[in-house]
Amino acid sequence: MFLIDDIFMAPLKGVIFLGNKINEMIEKEMSDEGALKERLMELQLKFEMDEIDEVEYDKREDELLKLLEKAREEKQNK
């Protein structure tokens, strides 16, 4: 009976495993100072090239700066 349960649950376990790995990668990217600084530079370039307006730039910059600050705080607490 347990073997049959394992067979039927394998796809679900695979999806859960992949979801966890994707979540770990996202958290790592969101706490990586280098990646956040790179995203800030890309945002600045888009603003300078008039690909986004000032309102959008300010909104996204604030989000990235908050993430950067959080990443630095987490790094200091380790």
**Band of the pLDDT at 1, cuts 50, 70, 90?**
low
Domains of the chain: total: 1
Q: For every residue of the chain, which 3-state class applies, written as one string?
A: CHHHHHHHHHHHHHHHHHHHHHHHHHHHHHCCHHHHHHHHHHHHHHHHCCCCCHHHHHHHHHHHHHHHHHHHHHHHHC
Q: Is residue 19 part of a domain?
A: no
State percent of the chain over pLDDT 90. 38
Q: Is residue 52 part of a domain?
A: yes
State percent of the chain over pLDDT 70. 95
Q: Is residue 62 part of a domain?
A: yes
Q: Which domain holds residue 56?
A: 33-78
Q: Is residue 16 part of a domain?
A: no
Q: Is residue 22 part of a domain?
A: no
**Band of the pLDDT at 65, cuts 50, 70, 90?**
very high
The better pLDDT of the pair 47, 73 is held by 47
Q: Is residue 1 part of a domain?
A: no
